[in-house]
Structures are given as structure tokens and as C-alpha cells.
Structure 1
């Protein structure tokens, strides 16, 4: 089921499955800013990563001596969320634990995704509540894919990412979906990374020391683009499917297992710990122009 909210500047459309953002377009320009979801390359738009980010070693983790299996990026992206339209410009999606989730993830939880539009901006807030009497262990991540080129005008190499606080990117290599200790450095030119498809031929650029909290997707042919702002996310991924015309900007509170992971959830790198009856939230915002 699809639901839309709209103001005088932008229209945003969401699916109840996965609480996934499906489209953001300009009301007057009709510019579509999100990737088309072409299954030939990658059939998603902006999946929600929960309760893990990335892959587990052998798709398995251990908790209190028991083994559990979870797919890459967890299960939330494939589940139906409840929803409530809070106002004309705000919608709230909710996912709760159930008998099936408890079999593979032995935690009670409530996950909210709160989307709000104001002006030419879309704001996404993740809200996690722990209703249980024991600690909740989880990760959350974003995975929005933005079109490049916009409106199929121009080409991928017309586009670049402008970082507000970095002059180089130190990224970890991915081997068989796991994080390697091997790193490489991408030099930025005045904070700018020119996009080219081969950047992502070996999977995502996984950043553990990103200083920037604002990234602008711009192009050399016209003024259209977007500015992506995020805060409180210790990890960041940049990715595109091979030769696909999009770029994913992915703030994460969590990360895939390292190649030498001991697979223990309680000590997993990036795992979030939420006390009983506790609340947790993080927000990212994107402004379109």
C-alpha cells in the first residue's frame, strides 16, 4: 500500500511494506530525486536496516549461548508496518516484535519511522522503544538511493558529492559482505568526490571516521541536487549497484561483521544498547533543490 504527503514544494510517497520511501518529486518541476527501483540493477528505493546493518558472519549471531540467523540488513525492510498520518505533512510507521521475529531475534521492541516534510525538505526520524525488562540490542541504518542523473538528463559523471568537513575518505574494503581491515584512501578536491561507476565495483565505501555531517549531491550541468544532513551516526556507507545511475547515502548506527568477528551480539561492533523502558532516536534530513 502506498501513502503520499505533499506540500507546495515536494511530494513524498511511501510503502507500508518496510516503511520505505519510494519517491520524492518536485511539485512544480516534477523532478524525481529518488532512484527508480529498476530490478535489473537493484529493486529497492530506501530500505530500513533493522535490527542489524550489513551482513553477519555466516548470517549467524550468538546471544546467551544460542545461535540465531538473520539476513543481511535484518528483517524490517520486508515487513508490513502499521501507519498513522499524524498531520497533513507527517506520517508515522510502526513495527513491533511478534512471534515470528522473536524466533530469530529474541527481543521485544517498537520501531517507529517518522517522516515529515517542510519546505523543500524531508526529515526521517528513527525511534526505538524497549518495552521489555531486559536490555535491547539493535542496529539501525538508512539506505536511500538518489538518482544521478536527475530526470535522465546528462550522465553519471556530471555528478559529485560535496563533503562539508572532509578532504579525504578512508574506507574499509568489503570481502564476501564482511568488513576487512584493509583500507584505501580517496582524495577529495576541495571536499568534492566526482562520481564514477567504478567507485562501487567492489561494493560500498564503508567509512568509520567520516567527519562530515552534510553531503551535497550536485551536478555540473544545472542547479538541481540535494543536501543530505545527518547527526549521531558513527558509520557511513556510500554505494551504487554496478553501472546503475544512483548513489546511496547511508548513515548507520551499526555495521556489518568484521571478517574475524566472534559473532557475539552483545559485543558486536556498533551495536546499540537500550535499557528497559528506554527510548532512542536518530534523524537524517534531505533538502532538495
Structure 2
């Protein structure tokens, strides 16, 4: 484990997947991140790359050749190279290798920079193309924030508050793929009350979200987070069945649609990065 720490927060990271695994308030020892309980979901905040979501039949085609990738790609299972810049800044790097080229025929460089500033942890993603051909990719975040449940507070005491007026139109998931069918949730006071049943059919997939900051709060105490993000056009909200957490997931990319032709260059949300160029996106969580 690698740690970042300042007077407000202490964050813990694993080299595998460059994964944030703990985020604690030092003053009251409050943990903001999910525990990773494998009975529900054994991850904390995986990095999604070079795809987001599932592929149709776990297969895509590029230049008339078939390739296979698991849901959300391979980055979350790879060891990143860490570089601790200071007690409050940490950079993780991942590059293509012989194994990645077998399933994803693109040279790439993926860098995550985590920084503590006051009571905020920020994470920026930089994807670089070192090759002489275009780089096709998607990248996404998947942090799971805990909802403390005890005798005094229930999961249904929590809510998400959006910073802009929204009517949430979400796409349904069918066998890990995005369906054409949509449903809507009308918000009162820009609030989405949490309930385990919200996620019984998988994530809420949002393609038209207006907000760029979502707060997780509850009616029983003053603790919570403000989660902001930049340059991610898609968003997912998810929790494992009956688990006491909620994932807030900004995505540059999305799972295959149910009728997708499986050609990578036609994949919805795929980013085409020319040679020598970079793409960046970021999120930040302010803890209170």
C-alpha cells in the first residue's frame, strides 16, 4: 500500500490497478470509501481502461481481426508503476506490453495523478498516444462511497443531490449491454433518494446528465461528500445488490449497445486519439 496524507485526510492506494482503497477523515476517523467486502463486491475504486462496460460477446473487431476483453478492460488487474511526488501527490503509470498488445493492439500510456488538497482528493487521468497510428480507447472511474448503516441510520436515509436541475433519463442494462429502452426518474429538490431496489437491474446509465457535481448526503448527520468531474460525457450510478455503498462513475465511453456491430471504431463513446496527442479527464471528492 502507498499512502497520501495531510492534516485533514489520509488516502491509501494499491499498486495493482492504481486503486484508491481507503479515504479517511483524520479528525474523526470517518471512512468515506467502501470496505471492499467480497460478500457483495470486492473492489473499491477500479480504473476502467481501455473499455468501459461490457463488449458484445466479450469481443470487438479492429482491422478485420477479433479481440477479446473482459468487462471494463484490463487496467484494474495490472500493476502500475508508482511515483510518489510528495506526501500529498502520487502518480501511477501504465504502458502497453506484450500481454496487452495481444488483446488490445495499441501502444498507449495511461497516467493517474492523485492529489490531496485540504479536505479534497482529486484524480486526473491522462492517456497519451506514443504510436504513429490513432489510439482508440475509453476510460472511466468507479469509486464506491460507503453509506454507513447502523441502528440510527438506514440506507434509505441517504440521497444524491445534483448541482443542476435534472430529470434523470437512464438506459437499462441487458446482459451487460446497453438497451435502447429508457426510464426516467423525476427529482424533487434535485435529490435522488437511495434505495437498494434502484440497482437490482444493474447500473443507472446516464447519457444526458447536466450536472458536474453530485453530493452524497443523509438526513441523520452532517457527513458527506461533494463529487465533481470534468470531461466525462457519460455517467453511471450503481451498487451491488443490497450493499451499503453507492458508486459514482464518470465515463469517457460506455458499454456496447445490444445491436452494436462490434467494430471498435463504431463503438459509442470511443475516443480516437491521434499520434502524439493526449486526453485528460478528472474527478475530485471533497469530504465533510
Normalised TM-score (structure 1): 0.98
**Do the aligned residues in 2 keep the contact of 1:24 with 1:32 (CA within 8 Å)?**
yes
**Residue 145 (structure 1) shift:** 0.2
Alignment of 1:1-289 (within 5 A): 2-149=1-148, 154-289=153-288
Structure 1 residue runs of 5 or longer lacking an equivalent are none
Query: Is the CA contact 2:166–2:210 (under 8 Å) kept in the aligned structure 1?
Result: no
Deviation at 1:167, TM superposition (A): 2.9
Q: CA deviation at 1:151?
A: 8.2
CA 1:82–1:151: 2 relative to 1, 3 Å: farther
Gaps of 5+ in 2: none
SS at match of 1:199: helix
Alpha carbons 1:32, 1:151 under 8 Å: kept? no
| 2:7 counterpart SS class | coil
* Contact 1:93/1:112 (<8 A) preserved: yes
User: 1:121–1:288: 8 Å Cα contact kept in structure 2?
Assistant: yes
- Asked whether the equivalents of residues 56 and 178 of structure 1 are also in contact (C-alpha less than 8 Å), the reply is yes
Q: TM-score, normalised by structure 2?
A: 0.99
Alpha-carbon spacing, 1:211–1:92, altered in 2? closer, same or farther (3 Å): same
CA separation in 2, counterparts of 1:270 and 1:125? 19
Q: CA RMSD of the aligned region, Å?
A: 1.0
Change (3 A) 1:10 1:152: farther
Is contact 2:252–2:269 with CA below 8 Å preserved after alignment? Answer: yes
Q: Would the aligned equivalents of 2:231 and 2:280 in 1 still touch at CA under 8 Å?
A: no
How far 1:154 moved relative to its partner? Answer: 1.6
Q: Compared with structure 1, are the counterparts of its residues 14 and 151 closer, same or farther at alpha carbon in structure 2 (3 Å cutoff)?
A: farther
